[in-house]
Structure 1
Amino acid sequence: MPTASVGVFKIATKGPGDVSGLMAMIVSGAIDPTSILAVLGKTEGNGGVNDFTREYAVAALCTALASQLGLTPHEVEQRIAFVMSGGTEGVLSPHITVFTRSEVAQRPAGISGKRLSIGMAQTRDFLPEELGRSAQIAETAKAVKAAMADAGIANPTDVHFVQIKCPLLTSERVEAAAARGNKTATISSYSSMAYSRGASALGVAVALGEVTSDIRDEDVLRRYDLFSKVASTSSGIELMHNVVIVLGNSDNSASEFEIGHAVMNDAIDTPAVVSALQSVGLEVGLRVAPRAEAGRELVNIFAKAEASPDGSVRGFRHTMLEDTDISSTRHARAAVGGLIAGLAGTGVVYVSGGAEHQGPAGGGPVAAIARMF
């Protein structure tokens, strides 16, 4: 497999339609638009079914990149993996993280060992009645393995974060299934987000060997002892298939970046965040600091968050699931986002709500990317 150079660029945004930062980096030559493989973003929407900031952000990016690539906006969306996560509650700050990949003849001097690698794949389109069920699990598992191959990663232990964008149900999609005589996993659009996220996460667990037993349809959102330690899934109205992005370390990479991860057992698991940062050689005190002697600096942190489904955190009751004014996912993003931002010294971090089968119940995976200089 050819050697690849993977780049990571974190760019603040002034709104979901703001592409000025990305365009400035393209104009300056810092980013070659032809090398862009994936864009992960946080938008200031509500993160719910009707959060159209996600679709708006993707549309703005595709339109801006179309002229740079000589493609139509639709063709851009087919070429590049866009994953927009709505919700920047608390101190979280809207931004995008751009991942690039290009082939190089050989590794530059000074780069050794396994370095950051990225791969992408997509599932087929799903029928509404397949969301949240075994078909979505099986097809996602296939796509994860394809993305690993695309990234040049053979060993599942070298996979540190799998980001998936998955569909949700709308009333029209539920009615379409019923017209064919089929029932969907739920008739609630909001609940369908959790079913889709959960099934997608279980697909990651199957692909990586984290779950080896057969998974039944009724296990989704019930068997919380079944989970992936590296899955991050986000539901959206704008698609009917899963987009899979695998991030890990590979001998085939000539990147100046490295990724590591840990697993939060609950929403206040500070040691897990510290462990993720230390896994990429970062020094953690009152806040993350570059290790000048090791030549490393933090680029971004990616994490999942959810309100513990048993209604408690370390034996004490929480009210996130009982608040009728604010959804529990918004509470969770704000809480975990604040914890991570306090350690990182910045609110420009990627925290996504809804961690069904993504880490233990009430917790979630947390990954860190560092640049070596």
Structure 2
Amino acid sequence: MSKPRRAALHRVPMRHPGDTAAIEALFESGALNPAAIVAILGKTEGNGCVNDFTRAYAVQSLSLMLVRRIGAAAAERVALVMSGGTEGGLSPHFLVLAVEPGEAPNPAGALAIGTGFTRDFAPEEIGRPPQAEAVAEAVRAAMAEAGIADPAQVHYVQVKCPLLTTERMAAAQARGATVATEDTYASMGLSRGASALGVALALGEVAAVPAAAIGRDWSLHSGVASASAGVELERCEVIVLGNSTDWDGDLAIAHDVMGDTIDLPAVHRALRAAGLPTEDGQVPEASAVRLVAVLAKAEPSSFGQIRGQRHIMWDDSDINATRHARALVGGVIAGAVGRTDIFVSGGAEHQGPDGGGPVAVIARRAPG
């Protein structure tokens, strides 16, 4: 029987998108073995749109750091997921995920991590069923790597996916191929949507992904998928987080689904499921020390209302709708947990119901 593994998660601040100093300080102190890193998630302070190169800047800086520490081949196997946009009070930060040798399995279940990668996509595949099917395959591979057989034990699946640029569209058209959209910004939503439906397909949340459903049929969605699109890659990178009794450690993950952008009760349910009380609406300071990470999706409702009242997120020509949504959901969650370094990603196409989205909590179990 193989020795159990132990998941580690370090949340560190960043002074700018290329700042890896806090991660390297973990190496120097001995708190983290760079060879144990399997993924790094980051919230960068860009606009989260097509031309948000803070994501690429962070990926480049992290890649150079990892190559110095563990070599190019090993660095290539680390999933780097950067989500742009820290509107409102959100704080830029990194979440560093590592897998270390364990001692004994935790019978209560412990955080389990698996990663997977798709092939590079041709531009004409982005936002279409081939992307969803490839993501589903990568999710299944990541679950197998994590040793999670039961989809019910999967609580969060992060996908970093590509988008269409003018150059990529031109390359497809030169070959006589058509693309899902000629709007580069719209391609972000279609890519996120196809990725999320790929997660849903792998977990049995949907039976199939028809081409006509992507970006249109919001009744099809995943309750655990979080997809973020960027210009810095052409493949999808997948991180599966769940619980397993085969893993060691005191970390555990739970999730719930926000029905809309102000669904505070869903946040409270996720916190309580992770073992954190929510007295007076906010996690008490004595328990807050066990909170390791909060990850959520944010999306304005397509019908322009929140509980019957009009919102203007889609009508603002100055500020992109996803930027409004990140600030709003970030504020709701920050009020519940008492901190602002939370991973709120905008654009929740097929990630939770229309106007809502998944929220996951990673926490240390209470002693005893």
TM over 0.5: yes
Q: Which residue of 2 aligns with 1:97?
A: 95
Identity %: 51
Q: Which residue of 2 aligns with 1:348?
A: 341
Query: Would you say how many aligned residue pairs link Structure 1 and Structure 2?
Result: 364
**Aligned equivalents of 1:63, 1:175: Cα separation in 2:** 31
Q: Which residue of 2 aligns with 1:262?
A: 256
- Are the equivalent residues in 2 in contact too, given 1:283–1:290 (CA < 8 A)? no
Unaligned runs of 5+ in 2: none
Q: Which residue of 2 aligns with 1:308?
A: 301
Q: Which residue of 2 aligns with 1:252?
A: 246
1:154: how far off? 0.4
Q: Which residue of 2 aligns with 1:42?
A: 43
Q: 1:194 is matched with which residue: 189, 192, 197?
A: 189
1:128 matched to 2:157: no
Q: 1:357 is matched with which residue: 345, 350, 363?
A: 350
**Aligned equivalents of 2:347, 2:202: Cα separation in 1:** 21
**Aligned equivalents of 1:35, 1:49: Cα separation in 2:** 32
- Are the equivalent residues in 1 in contact too, given 2:161–2:192 (CA < 8 A)? yes
Q: Which residue of 1 aligns with 2:268?
A: 274
- Are the equivalent residues in 2 in contact too, given 1:282–1:291 (CA < 8 A)? no
1:67 matched to 2:68: yes
**Aligned equivalents of 2:209, 2:199: Cα separation in 1:** 12
**Aligned equivalents of 1:318, 1:149: Cα separation in 2:** 42
Cα deviation 1:226-246 (Å, max 9, x = unaligned): 000000000010111110000
The within-5 A match list for 1:174-253 is 174-212=169-207, 214-253=208-247
The within-5 A match list for 1:141-156 is 141-156=136-151
Q: Which residue of 2 aligns with 1:18?
A: 19
Q: State the secondary structure of the residue aligned to 2:364.
A: strand
Q: Which residue of 1 aligns with 2:312?
A: 319
Cα distance change, pair 117–278 in 1 and its aligned pair in 2 (3 A): same
- Are the equivalent residues in 2 in contact too, given 1:303–1:351 (CA < 8 A)? yes
**Aligned equivalents of 1:345, 1:96: Cα separation in 2:** 18
- TM-score computed with the length of structure 1 as normaliser: 0.95
1:102 counterpart letter in structure 2: E
**Aligned equivalents of 2:154, 2:289: Cα separation in 1:** 20
**Aligned equivalents of 1:203, 1:334: Cα separation in 2:** 27
**Aligned equivalents of 2:174, 2:77: Cα separation in 1:** 33
Cα distance change, pair 339–105 in 1 and its aligned pair in 2 (3 A): closer
**Aligned equivalents of 2:96, 2:126: Cα separation in 1:** 29
1:244 counterpart letter in structure 2: V
**Aligned equivalents of 2:11, 2:103: Cα separation in 1:** 26
Q: State the secondary structure of the residue aligned to 1:288.
A: coil
- Are the equivalent residues in 2 in contact too, given 1:262–1:366 (CA < 8 A)? yes
**Aligned equivalents of 1:136, 1:221: Cα separation in 2:** 13
1:134 counterpart letter in structure 2: P
- TM-score computed with the length of structure 2 as normaliser: 0.96
Q: State the secondary structure of the residue aligned to 2:49.
A: coil
1:290: how far off? 5.8
Unaligned runs of 5+ in 1: none
Q: Which residue of 1 aligns with 2:84?
A: 86
**Aligned equivalents of 1:290, 1:229: Cα separation in 2:** 29
